[in-house]
A and B are shown apart, each in its own frame.
Chain A
Amino acid sequence: MPIGVYVCHCGLNIAGVLNMEELKSFAEKLPDVAVARDLQFSCSDIGQEQIQKDIAELKLDRVVVAACSPRLHEPTFRRAISKAGLNPYMLEMANIREQCSWVHMEQPAMATEKAKDLIAMAVAKAALLKPLEPESIPVSKNVLVVGGGVAGIAAALDLADSGLHVFLVERRPTIGGYMALLTDVFPTNDCSICVLGPKMSEVYNHPDITLITYAEVLGVEGSVGNFTVSGVRRARYVDEKLCKGCINECAGVCPVEVPSEYDFGIGKRKAIYIPYPQAVPLVACVDPKACIGCARCVEACPAQAVKLDQEPQDFKLNVGAIIVATGWQPFDATRKEEYGFGRYRDVITTLQMERMLNASGPTKGDVVQPSTGKIAERVAFLQCVGSRDSTVGNLYCSRICCMASLKNAQLVKEKYPHTDITIYYIDIRACGEGYEEFYVRAQKLGINFVRSRVSCIDEVEGELFLIFEDTQTGEMKKVKHDLAVLSVGLEPDEKADVLGNLLGLSRRPDGFFEIAHPKMRPVEAHIDGVFIAGCASGPKEIPISIAQGSAAASKAVKLLHKGVLELEPTSAYVDPEKCIKCKLCVDLCPKKAIAVKSPAYVDEAACKGCGSCAAACPADAINMRFFSDEQIIAQVQAATEEKREFPLIVAFLCNWCSYGAADLAGTSRIQYPTNARNIRVMCSARVDPSFVLEALRRGADGVLIAGCRIGECHYRDGNYQALQRVNVLKGVLEKIGLDPGRVKIVWCAASEGEIFAKDIRDFIGELKAMGPIGTELKKGLSEVKNEETALP
């Protein structure tokens, strides 16, 4: 196994600090090294050609480049060696620039010693590299969109127009979500259904969209590119193909009337109904809870579409990607008992107001007092009902309700200019494009604003009183209104857990689905091939919900349009002989890539190579194709082969954050001592306790593990897992008589070079105080001895 080692000068960037001659002759003597050279600029054409020439002439089968960070030039050198006929994964880099010459400029001799270790570590790992073949798998070009609100509709249309096939599964009998029920929509106050209706029809008529309404997803298997989704279409008791949508015939004879959920209780519907006139599909539906089975509708229907014996139908779909657009649900206002919703008829929610203002709604557009049916004259809007309120467990701002109240107030004022309207608010949050102008417009219309969180609503002899402190004047007040509108917040759908569990999605503390990165990956889930759009990931207004639907669609197109998916060959794999089927790995895996059948099995398409399972497996049955146990142990052994300084630290840095921070310390020329020998791992959770013990056993004075900041793990919660393991390890060290402080875990973001340097400095200080490894054992022994001699 002839290895070629190339030590790069990088002009003076490396050679200005490190002694190149010494490094080259050190490398030549390492085991399996066939050739070691120093190159001026190894990344330049000349440098690359030299490497390729050696591969051809000296039959090198693996290459070590000691130069800059692999995060910069690993792709370059992989390409270079693969042009020369080597497998691209037969390359290892030693980072002697960002993590050596640039950060130890004042200590050239010690830095050269450290670089020797880094090169020896790279050579040791290189000897164990194995060729890896990136696998391609064929993928389905179908996409499942769950939820047919405005976000799901936007996603479905974009996908279908790009040539993928869409299955749109909607739980209700109609698509449209909440937007279809709104009156005019801010910030332009155009009619909501007039802009949404055409999109709903387009979905219905699109040849590349299969619309499955009144249905639920019940099972998801497989992984990115090839999900198998099963579900059930509930019985409508009406044949979708035969129903003409005339509704008056059947509903006209139905004797049962119930409150309509599409009017939030203020309107009524029959047991056989169409949610609203613009519903898509325009097909009747029988509510089995209300229906008494009299079958009058069966007789009345001219198309013989009513089938009271209809059965639910199962369906199964193969899709390559899944978009979750399941939206939100309104806060249940009865939970704020002090406002009397549900007890006082004239206390309503903004959603009921939306329906009243709607020309095709239950009051045909009149804004009335429910108790009297008279037009309301003194209307109050109460903001933040169920939002920004720890008493109901919702700390977040629902973001749209200030705007919704401003809108409804304007619409009422325009319709009835003499109405006295007051909005009671904590702060008005109007921070989208055109939103502040919208607020100013409301002020100009003569709408009153009182800064207050209303403490309660009292009804005395049929009259409503709001009791509150006006926080601008400091006065307690009691004011009469004849209609109080509660601006209810947006909550996660109460059944979101069902779908979330099927897909393995995480939920944030506020209950909404968590996206893969709060800034950089706004529509991706932690699970590959799953995307989240609209209010499913938190409250947002229509334009943003649409933007997210389209963004999710474009991500799915990017993923699937080629029909094949190239997989990074860095996954975990199981040794079936060793697996004891404990299932520990199943829950740890952030990507839901492991299933334990008999034995455990890793879905290599889903695996992203974090390595937590490999670290956790009690039987050592899981290993990684890249960053294997043997390779890491070899690095640890090389780092501790010769103890070149005290304290000697073996440091494990996660690829995403802390390794980046160490690189940044280099590019920022932040200086710190040379004691650490860094080993790159994909995630801090990869660090198997046995790596740490091996390092200490072989004389390292301390082991540092650095991960992303808590909450920022690139997989999900690898850093928590690492923390847990470190805590256990500390216990082990204590038991064997070593200072538990010798293993330390720290967090730093890729932007925190200074913090990384400080972490190293601090750890060095702590280890100096402890003394070389084993000091405590000797001390312990002598104490025991003293005790013994003290005995009579």
Chain B
Amino acid sequence: MKLAYYPGCVSKSTGKEMDASTRAVCGALGIELEELDDWNCCGATHVSNELVAAGLAARNMAQTDLPIMTACSICYSNLRAAAQRLEEHETLEKVNAVLDKKYSGARIRHALDVILEALAENDERIVVPLKELKVAPYYGCLLTRPAGLYSPEFPIILEKLIKRLQAEPVDFRLMTICCGGPIFMPQEKAAEDIAFKILSEAKRAGAEVIVTVCPLCHLMLDAKQQVLEQKHGVRIGIPVLYVTQLAGIALGLGPEELGLDMNSVSPMVVVERMYARLSE
């Protein structure tokens, strides 16, 4: 299978491990990725101006005829929202008037759904089955917005993927609430409270890792974890993995390929346990 790949700006900064693991996993699964030519912002920087946001997204989407895959839920949401807006003739005309390559429709996919589709039940490429690993599926808010493939409250696709990797999804109540990231600038305390609530709930639910599909969620739960532990005087210590990293571990890809060293809360103890069990 061949897909166009839209890395998104985070892949060049705080989400390098998301980008690395996405490329590595797709490579392992035989999915050919063709990085979009000369891509720009997905529109996230201009969400308050729908027309500009749609224009930015359209410029990306017009670069290819292939279905476009992204691993970032923010990009995923913005590209889809733009595609919906561009169904309106007036918006389409305004946008196309300023584009060199004209936009005429696109199909947007999330890496999550691409990986799940590529993996069969008991796929033999899963060389490190994640048996008995308790994983909290954390969706955040943007994967399911605007309404599309998944139910906003019960998307279940992440649970499916976790099971396919032979790990165990835990019953995680807060799986679809916002991570707090979008309000971090104006309301730092409120944002941190939300993130802490999610982490505490994951711990209560018995999760050994949290899996995310969005770099902002990842930032809030992983990079902020230590600060939050200190602030509340509680130890959490749950590694937070991108879904591509989790899949990569099961596919037997090495820690460097998956950028595991870039995670703030190191997942290496968990990874080593999985390998240790393998030789048992």
A-to-B contact residues, CB < 8 Å: 337-338, 391, 458
Q: Which residues of B contact A458 (CB under 8 A)?
A: 173
Specify the main secondary structure of chain A where it touches its partner.
helix
**A337/B151 in contact, CB under 8 A:** yes
Cα–Cα distance between A338 and B152 once the two chains are bound (Å): 8
**A337/B147 in contact, CB under 8 A:** no
**A391/B147 in contact, CB under 8 A:** yes
At the interface, yes or no: B153 with Cβ under 8 Å from chain A? yes
Starting from the known contacts A337-B151, A337-B152, 6 additional A-B residue pairs (CB-CB under 8 Å) come to A337-B153, A337-B154, A338-B152, A338-B153, A391-B147, A458-B173
- 8 A–B contacts, CB within 8 A, in A order: A337-B151, A337-B152, A337-B153, A337-B154, A338-B152, A338-B153, A391-B147, A458-B173
Name B147-167 residues within 8 Å CB distance of A: 147, 151-154
Cα–Cα distance between A337 and B151 once the two chains are bound (Å): 8
Q: Which residue of B lies closest to A337 (CB)?
A: B153
Q: Which residues of B contact A338 (CB under 8 A)?
A: 152-153
Q: Which residue of B lies closest to A476 (CB)?
A: B190
Name B166-211 residues within 8 Å CB distance of A: 173
B-to-A contact residues, CB < 8 Å: 147, 151-154, 173
Cα–Cα distance between A382 and B151 once the two chains are bound (Å): 21
Cα–Cα distance between A338 and B178 once the two chains are bound (Å): 14
Q: Which residue of A lies closest to B145 (CB)?
A: A391
**Closest CB of chain A to B178's CB: distance in Å?**
11
Q: Which residues of A contact B173 (CB under 8 A)?
A: 458
**Closest CB of chain A to B182's CB: distance in Å?**
15
Q: Which residue of A lies closest to B174 (CB)?
A: A458
Cα–Cα distance between A331 and B193 once the two chains are bound (Å): 36
Q: Which residues of A contact B151 (CB under 8 A)?
A: 337
Q: Which residue of A lies closest to B177 (CB)?
A: A456
Which of A337, A338, A458 has its CB near the most chain B CB atoms (within 10 A)? A337
Cα–Cα distance between A458 and B153 once the two chains are bound (Å): 11
Q: Which residues of B contact A337 (CB under 8 A)?
A: 151-154
**Closest CB of chain B to A475's CB: distance in Å?**
12
Q: Which residues of A contact B153 (CB under 8 A)?
A: 337-338
Cα–Cα distance between A338 and B145 once the two chains are bound (Å): 14
Q: Which residues of A contact B147 (CB under 8 A)?
A: 391
**Closest CB of chain B to A344's CB: distance in Å?**
12
Closest 7 A-B residue pairs measured CB to CB? Answer: A337-B153, A338-B153, A337-B151, A337-B152, A337-B154, A391-B147, A338-B152
Cα–Cα distance between A761 and B147 once the two chains are bound (Å): 48
**Closest CB of chain A to B43's CB: distance in Å?**
19
**Closest CB of chain B to A192's CB: distance in Å?**
35
**Closest CB of chain B to A392's CB: distance in Å?**
9
**Closest CB of chain A to B144's CB: distance in Å?**
10
Q: Which residue of A lies closest to B147 (CB)?
A: A391
Q: Which residue of B lies closest to A467 (CB)?
A: B177
Cα–Cα distance between A458 and B152 once the two chains are bound (Å): 15
Q: Which residue of A lies closest to B173 (CB)?
A: A458
Cα–Cα distance between A558 and B216 once the two chains are bound (Å): 67
Cα–Cα distance between A73 and B151 once the two chains are bound (Å): 64
Q: Which residue of A lies closest to B154 (CB)?
A: A337
Cα–Cα distance between A520 and B151 once the two chains are bound (Å): 43
Q: Which residue of A lies closest to B153 (CB)?
A: A337
Cα–Cα distance between A338 and B154 once the two chains are bound (Å): 9
**Closest CB of chain B to A465's CB: distance in Å?**
12
**Closest CB of chain A to B145's CB: distance in Å?**
9
**Closest CB of chain B to A755's CB: distance in Å?**
23
Cα–Cα distance between A458 and B174 once the two chains are bound (Å): 11
Which of B147, B153, B154 has its CB near the most chain A CB atoms (within 10 A)? B153
Q: Which residues of A contact B152 (CB under 8 A)?
A: 337-338
Q: Which residues of B contact A391 (CB under 8 A)?
A: 147
Q: Which residues of A contact B154 (CB under 8 A)?
A: 337
Q: Which residue of B lies closest to A456 (CB)?
A: B153
**Closest CB of chain A to B155's CB: distance in Å?**
10
Q: Which residue of A lies closest to B152 (CB)?
A: A337
Cα–Cα distance between A391 and B173 once the two chains are bound (Å): 22
**Closest CB of chain B to A457's CB: distance in Å?**
11
**Closest CB of chain A to B125's CB: distance in Å?**
34
**Closest CB of chain B to A310's CB: distance in Å?**
42
Cα–Cα distance between A86 and B147 once the two chains are bound (Å): 67
**Closest CB of chain B to A10's CB: distance in Å?**
47
Cα–Cα distance between A126 and B151 once the two chains are bound (Å): 67
**Closest CB of chain B to A171's CB: distance in Å?**
31
Q: Which residue of B lies closest to A455 (CB)?
A: B177
**Closest CB of chain B to A478's CB: distance in Å?**
12
**Closest CB of chain A to B261's CB: distance in Å?**
38
**Closest CB of chain B to A676's CB: distance in Å?**
31
**Closest CB of chain B to A382's CB: distance in Å?**
16
**Closest CB of chain A to B36's CB: distance in Å?**
30
**Closest CB of chain B to A527's CB: distance in Å?**
28
Cα–Cα distance between A337 and B144 once the two chains are bound (Å): 13
Cα–Cα distance between A337 and B152 once the two chains are bound (Å): 7
**Closest CB of chain A to B151's CB: distance in Å?**
6
**Closest CB of chain B to A342's CB: distance in Å?**
11
**Closest CB of chain B to A387's CB: distance in Å?**
17
**Closest CB of chain B to A406's CB: distance in Å?**
29
Cα–Cα distance between A167 and B153 once the two chains are bound (Å): 47
Cα–Cα distance between A458 and B151 once the two chains are bound (Å): 17
**Closest CB of chain B to A462's CB: distance in Å?**
15
Cα–Cα distance between A85 and B44 once the two chains are bound (Å): 77
Cα–Cα distance between A391 and B81 once the two chains are bound (Å): 13
Cα–Cα distance between A337 and B150 once the two chains are bound (Å): 12
Cα–Cα distance between A338 and B153 once the two chains are bound (Å): 6
**Closest CB of chain B to A124's CB: distance in Å?**
41
**Closest CB of chain A to B190's CB: distance in Å?**
9
Cα–Cα distance between A554 and B109 once the two chains are bound (Å): 57
Cα–Cα distance between A106 and B173 once the two chains are bound (Å): 79
**Closest CB of chain B to A709's CB: distance in Å?**
18
Cα–Cα distance between A337 and B153 once the two chains are bound (Å): 6
**Closest CB of chain A to B191's CB: distance in Å?**
13
**Closest CB of chain A to B21's CB: distance in Å?**
31
**Closest CB of chain B to A460's CB: distance in Å?**
8
Cα–Cα distance between A319 and B215 once the two chains are bound (Å): 66
Cα–Cα distance between A458 and B147 once the two chains are bound (Å): 21
Cα–Cα distance between A581 and B7 once the two chains are bound (Å): 55
**Closest CB of chain A to B148's CB: distance in Å?**
12
**Closest CB of chain A to B124's CB: distance in Å?**
37
Cα–Cα distance between A562 and B33 once the two chains are bound (Å): 76
Q: Which residue of B lies closest to A339 (CB)?
A: B153
Cα–Cα distance between A491 and B198 once the two chains are bound (Å): 37
Cα–Cα distance between A337 and B156 once the two chains are bound (Å): 14
Cα–Cα distance between A432 and B3 once the two chains are bound (Å): 58
Cα–Cα distance between A370 and B153 once the two chains are bound (Å): 23
Cα–Cα distance between A337 and B173 once the two chains are bound (Å): 14
Cα–Cα distance between A561 and B46 once the two chains are bound (Å): 64
Cα–Cα distance between A539 and B33 once the two chains are bound (Å): 51
Cα–Cα distance between A391 and B144 once the two chains are bound (Å): 12
Cα–Cα distance between A391 and B151 once the two chains are bound (Å): 12
**Closest CB of chain B to A461's CB: distance in Å?**
12
Q: Which residue of B lies closest to A338 (CB)?
A: B153
Cα–Cα distance between A199 and B154 once the two chains are bound (Å): 47
Cα–Cα distance between A391 and B152 once the two chains are bound (Å): 11
Q: Which residue of A lies closest to B146 (CB)?
A: A391
